[in-house]
Chain A
Amino acid sequence: MPEGVADAAVRRGTAVEEQEWIARAFRDPVQRPSVRVWIYRRPALVLGCSARPGADLAKRALAKGMDLCVRPTGGGAVLAGRWLLGASVVLPAQDPFVVASIPGSFRWLGLAHATWLQDLGIAAHAVPAPVAFAGAALHWSCFGGLSHWEVEACGRKIVGLAQSRRRNGVLFSSGTLIEPPPWEMLCETLGRPGDEAAELASRTVSCAERLEEPAEAEALAQSLLDRLTPLTRGARPESSR
């Protein structure tokens, strides 16, 4: 374990297990950073914290073989599965990365993901301000828009970010598309029109598409962990602050 870090690991698990890990991490005041990169072994519909899923949605998700959970961070719905790498970074409330400006606090995480993808050979960039896509606003979906410091490649979203600030600490989370997701599954489960699946596909891109080779989830997860962990233990280049 790197010095100063409580936990840094890649885990193959479910989105439900991820949420349970986050809940445990915040049970007491966070003293040291923890980093987890998640490879999802089954699909899940992960809703933002302000969502109030009803029994009908739970039934539809179950019928499609998906877990359903509500995460502690804001933002739209995420479809977790083998096409997505998740990262959870838990920091003490007073960590230097936790700056007062909410948009500004995403900067380090967006830049870390962009440089990680660049090193893999993907021309990715973190956008300092929201970018409006042409067409309908798809605020219900995390990947329908590009918010502060989220990451794009060839003008299409590849990494989504979110955050939860609590008295006991701060959670930064990310989701990186490593393969094209089945957007129709997301739209059908949420009762969205079918053309929105095509719209989501046109606004997003995955590592496999940009690298023109199948995504090796384990290798990608380990390289993301190796990128994030040194930052959380204080190895912070000036450009990431």
Chain B
Amino acid sequence: MIDIALANEAWEGVDAGTEALVDAWLGREGERVVAGQPLVKVVLVKTSYEVSAPANGIVERVLVPAEQTFARGRSLGTLREG
């Protein structure tokens, strides 16, 4: 199982306590995806950002649904590799 997350590097320089927003999920639970495919659209510091699938696999669980915020390091969902 692999986490789907916004890379730590993207958060560099962001004030502690600032959260990002899940704008929309582009993939659904149970959907097969390929590495690099945009999966989640998030917004952080006036920037919309496509979080891509980290590997080929199936979207197992959505942990942060659309229109909810999340903190640095939080997994947005999980991917079952394969």
- Chain A interface residues (CB < 8 Å from chain B): 48-50, 72-75, 100-105, 129-130, 142, 147-148, 161-167
Residue of B nearest to A104 (CB): B13
16 new A-B pairs (CB below 8 Å) besides A102-B12, A164-B47? Answer: A50-B21, A50-B23, A100-B7, A100-B9, A100-B12, A101-B11, A102-B11, A102-B14, A102-B44, A102-B47, A105-B47, A161-B46, A164-B49, A165-B48, A165-B49, A165-B50
**Residues of chain A with a CB closer than 8 A to B45's CB:** 74, 102-103, 147-148
User: Does residue B36 face the partner (Cβ distance < 8 Å to A)?
Assistant: yes
Which listed residue, A49, A50, A74, A148, touches B13 by the CB 8 Å rule?
A148
User: Does residue B65 face the partner (Cβ distance < 8 Å to A)?
Assistant: no
Give per-residue flags for B51-75: 1 if the beta carbon is below 8 A from chain A beta carbons, else 0: 0100000000000000100000000
Complex alpha-carbon distance, A130 and B36, angstroms = 32
- The SS class assigned to the A binding surface is loop
Complex alpha-carbon distance, A24 and B59, angstroms = 30
Contact across chains for B43 and A74 when beta carbons are under 8 A apart: yes
Which listed residue, B23, B38, B49, touches A102 by the CB 8 Å rule?
B49
Complex alpha-carbon distance, A236 and B38, angstroms = 30
Contact across chains for B11 and A48 when beta carbons are under 8 A apart: no
Chain A to chain B contacts (Cβ below 8 Å), 15 pairs: A48-B46, A49-B43, A49-B48, A50-B43, A73-B46, A100-B12, A101-B11, A102-B44, A103-B14, A129-B15, A130-B15, A142-B46, A161-B46, A163-B47, A166-B50
**Residues of chain B with a CB closer than 8 A to A74's CB:** 43-48
Contact across chains for A101 and B10 when beta carbons are under 8 A apart: yes
- Chain B interface residues (CB < 8 Å from chain A): 7, 9-15, 21, 23, 36, 38, 41, 43-50, 52, 67
Complex alpha-carbon distance, A148 and B45, angstroms = 8
Complex alpha-carbon distance, A166 and B39, angstroms = 11
**Residues of chain A with a CB closer than 8 A to B13's CB:** 101-104, 129, 148
B39 to chain A, nearest CB (A): 11
**Residues of chain A with a CB closer than 8 A to B21's CB:** 50
Question: If the complex has contacts A129-B15, A130-B15, are A73 and B47 also in contact, measured as CB distance less than 8 A?
Answer: yes
Complex alpha-carbon distance, A161 and B46, angstroms = 8
**Residues of chain B with a CB closer than 8 A to A164's CB:** 47-49
